[in-house]
Chains A and B, each alone.
Chain A
């Protein structure tokens, strides 16, 4: 468990010679990769709040697709989330929570419901909001899911399980039940079983990400409330809250169940014991924060000139590296997410953005950069959590243990040596 900052601890190791020595020393003192300034804190907390509202929609819709839409060959209305999923109680918020992280309600956030009602235009039938893109952009959530599915093999037990015979048998049962009255699709399944199996794997990742975000939304809401109440007053405190939250719910099961005509099919049973931290959080951070894919829209990558690494594990197109100029795509940079967050910015951030750069005109980019800062803070929390889980406390008196911690931090920060990484940029407040 990470504790408060250790800035007063007497250093027992010589200064790091790493390019990001300053950041490493900050991490060793219990801080984050993001410098601890009130401006940074305001930006990251404000963005967590703005992110949490659409995230509250994302996780509900992801679970709805994984559990209800499933293999619908014509999923035109998959984003039209039914009332029962909007009223679905979050397991970590509200009175009936298993572990109450957020003190608010367990059903959909009121701001989300208000936005779904009117959008940014006016009240009109849902189909028009959808076609006009005056809605929560689920495409971003799906793109994140797809990044996790596409990269796969990022550690943990969940992903190998998707290739197991047990999983295939469970999926087969669900597929046959789902297409029981659809001979055409059943025929196709006979012809191309792997194609259907791959679709089910994708659905399992829908569920995985939905369950991951079900936790992150109340975490972010609570952080925002604590900030408003003055109970979070520094970046390390914000990071500590995240780390503590990660450990508090790290054992939450990751599963996939499908509801077909009233019958529940367990494709990945809870009993498999897949843990939230290792099977959802870490693969998500790896796939979305670091890797994703080299298709940003306006920039072309030339694979023949080594602009795209040969090995997927070396991809560097995630939000921690992204150029946040909007390109209109669902992926990274998260143009659609930025558009979603724009609707839920706290007033203090709107006021803050209005004072810088082009004010209202480039708020989308400014909030994209703030989002990048906040994700560096989340990544810091993950790094500290991993260090806590795998290595030694920051105040360990054994110099060898501290050296091991340092080696770990340095290895983590090696990934930001690339010129594309925004680590250097976020050290300065001028990066907006």
Chain B
């Protein structure tokens, strides 16, 4: 079942790529993507939310000599992200036009991205994970370089360099883990058992290397400098993939390979990580306020929202971790909505400049429904109750407060700043008076609105019924917290044996 999520899109990509007579590439890609998404949905029926461990495992020996095996499985963390990946891939394909240049290559590459990202989320072997992690680099590089904006070559190269360094650091970390622990396999479970043999200072160094790798991907301040250029220069569809799905590989890495694989080192680093997360949150929000380009503004908002995830993971409480998973999904949905709508506005109005945009809510000549959806997206991102953003942020704040009260308060302030830049965005873009010297914008069709409407429906639904988002992850995150607590206790015993003996 899990293999289908990898191989079906890949099969679709190959068919589109090699079968020259396939004229309706978009329809074919959409069909493949729809089936993939249905399979991902079907996993929810098969998944037992009461089990904290890995489920639906698939195993095939591969290159045993180097410890690489085809081992797949899902748990409460990967399941929602897997569904998010399939869903957003469908949205991206649906939202792209069939008459796009080199459409066969375009849709094939999107299917490849969907395939390899799914592979990374279900992989249960470190080398298999890094294989998928690196593989997504190629299609994404091409998607940015071919269908991007004016400075696409520069942006694609920047993305390539940063992501390659990210992959290299993660690979270095994984090799170090395996070699230093003496493990002959790169399977997660085996490494989880043998990691204790590595001295804590060494673990901290390895984890730092891995976290820098994932920090580039997420990205976190100060490793974020590739993000604004790449997000802005990418087409809206690719920006959805980058912000909605790819960035989640970074935060997924924090949880999976930091918190779960090396809880002792994670506990050591968590205060520093909390600070980095908070700096990212504040930096993202403050920089977004200063932007004049609405796409760049949304891009910077992404840095801030990813910071919440790191703060929550660093806090490592039951509530904060469930909030972190929630925030990953919530951010994926909201960012996809915002990027999609920014794309619609850019296509219809011809600009993303805040100083040029005005009065789009005008019911006759403006983009009233697009503007309404943008307002909802802004509200969701700012954490207005009733929308999914609120649930995730509230859990993050409540869960983190007990561990990092000051950092959490700073994050709450940043959440207020989110409202500030979205009010700026919405006020300049949607409100005011539409200038009838320029307002000859084409109408946005219902078909063009459909992806945004679906995303908004989901944002509302999960905001009102958050258990549908969170119940899958709770046992897994609880078990992570338990291992983290054990680890902290173990450190106390190791560092102060006399104190423990007295007690």
Contact = CB atoms under 8 A, between A and B. Distances in A.
Interface of A: 298-299, 323-326, 357-358, 361-362, 364-365, 425, 431-432
Interface of B is mostly: loop
B471 interface: no
A323 B434 CA distance: 9
Contact of B440 (A325, A364, A432): A432
Contact of B364 (A299, A364, A431, A432): A364
A365 B364 contact: yes
Nearest to A327: B433
B362 interface: yes
B428 interface: no
B437 interface: yes
Contacts of A357: 365, 440
A365 B443 CA distance: 14
Contact of B436 (A323, A358, A361): A323
A425 B439 CA distance: 13
6 contacts: A323-B433, A325-B365, A358-B364, A358-B443, A361-B364, A365-B364
Contact of B437 (A358, A364, A425): A425
Given A325-B364, A358-B365, A299 B433 contact: yes
Interface in B322-373: 362, 364-365
A362 B365 contact: yes
Contacts of A364: 364
A209 B120 CA distance: 77
In order of increasing CB-CB distance, the 6 nearest A-B pairs are A362-B364, A358-B443, A299-B433, A323-B436, A362-B365, A365-B364
Interface in B260-275: none
Nearest to A298: B433
Given A362-B364, A364-B364, 9 more contacts: A325-B362, A325-B365, A357-B365, A358-B442, A362-B365, A365-B364, A365-B365, A431-B437, A432-B440
A357 B442 CA distance: 7
Interface of B: 362, 364-365, 433-434, 436-437, 439-440, 442-443
A425 B362 CA distance: 21
Nearest to B363: A326
B437 A325 contact: no
A364 B364 CA distance: 8
A428 B31 CA distance: 48
Among B364, B433, B439, B440, which residue has the most Cβ atoms of chain A within 10 A?
B364
Contacts of A323: 433, 436
B434 A325 contact: yes
A374 to B, nearest CB: 17
A325 B443 contact: no
B436 A365 contact: yes
Contacts of B436: 323-325, 365
The winner among B365, B434, B437, B440 for most chain A CB atoms within 10 A is B365
A432 B440 CA distance: 9
A326 B439 CA distance: 13
A104 B363 CA distance: 39
A428 to B, nearest CB: 11
Contacts of A362: 364-365
A213 to B, nearest CB: 28
Contacts of A432: 440
Nearest to B364: A362
A325 B365 CA distance: 8
Contacts of A431: 437
Contacts of B433: 298-299, 323, 325
Contacts of A299: 433
A119 to B, nearest CB: 21
Contacts of A365: 364-365, 436
B500 to A, nearest CB: 70
Contacts of B443: 358, 361
A298 B364 CA distance: 14
A324 B437 CA distance: 11
Interface centre among B362, B433, B436 (most CB of A within 10 A): B436
A210 to B, nearest CB: 31
A326 B440 CA distance: 15
Contacts of B365: 325, 357-358, 362, 365
Contacts of A425: 437
Nearest to B362: A325
A324 B433 CA distance: 11
Contacts of B439: 325
B445 to A, nearest CB: 11
Nearest to A363: B364
Nearest to A432: B440
B367 to A, nearest CB: 11
B30 to A, nearest CB: 28
A366 B48 CA distance: 60
A152 B443 CA distance: 44
Contacts of B442: 358
A298 B359 CA distance: 10
A171 to B, nearest CB: 42
B205 to A, nearest CB: 61
Contacts of B440: 357, 432
A323 B436 CA distance: 7
A326 B364 contact: yes
Nearest to B442: A358
A100 to B, nearest CB: 40
Contacts of B434: 325
Contacts of A324: 436
Nearest to A364: B364
B42 to A, nearest CB: 41
A105 B439 CA distance: 42
Contacts of B362: 325
A431 B436 CA distance: 9
A299 B362 CA distance: 12
